[in-house]
Structure 1
Amino acid sequence: MGKFMTVQEAAAELKVSRWMIYQLIWANEVQSVTVGRCRRIVRQSFDDYVSGLIEQAA
């Protein structure tokens, strides 16, 4: 598992649309970087967000 993931990979993992992932990026819920013209999600940020969702549900 790498340090970055694509928007599509993040969407697939959460079973949501790419648009929803972009909304999370714009709301600073997950961190991302731009490499050239490509947007990449910081894996640790994504994992922290998912962990927060699980904790809220408990």
Structure 2
Amino acid sequence: MTIAAPDSVRLDLTTVVDPADMPLLLTVEEAARQLRIGRTQMWRLVTTGAVESVFIGRLRRVPIECLHEYVTNLLANGGQRQKTAA
């Protein structure tokens, strides 16, 4: 007899995205999901300038390259965020 796992345990394959299908610009919430962090922490990174973002009209978007830059900088600094000049 086989018992199916609950939905919360199953791998959600909709989150696995082909890099060619990745959008160029993400909302702050989508960027947070990509980094696997909370929305509040992502907004903090964006507003402090740790992760660059752009405005299209009144909408703030995070270029996917800026997420890659942020992670690259984290790796280069031993996991520590660079201090930004105030």
Quick check: which one's helix share is greater? Answer: 1
TM-score, normalized by length of structure 2? Answer: 0.55
**CA distance, structure 1, for counterparts of residue 27 and residue 34 of structure 2:** 11
Equivalent pairs, count: 57
**CA distance, structure 2, for counterparts of residue 50 and residue 9 of structure 1:** 16
Quick check: which one's strand share is greater? Answer: 1
Which 4+ runs in 1 deviate beyond 6 A?
none
Q: Relative contact order, CA 8 A, sep 6+: which one is greater?
A: 1
RMSD of aligned residue pairs (Cα, Å): 1.6
Q: Which residue in 2 is equivalent to 1:15?
A: 36
Identity %: 33
* Residue ranges of structure 2 left out of the alignment (5+ in a row): 1-21, 80-86
* Residue ranges of structure 1 left out of the alignment (5+ in a row): none
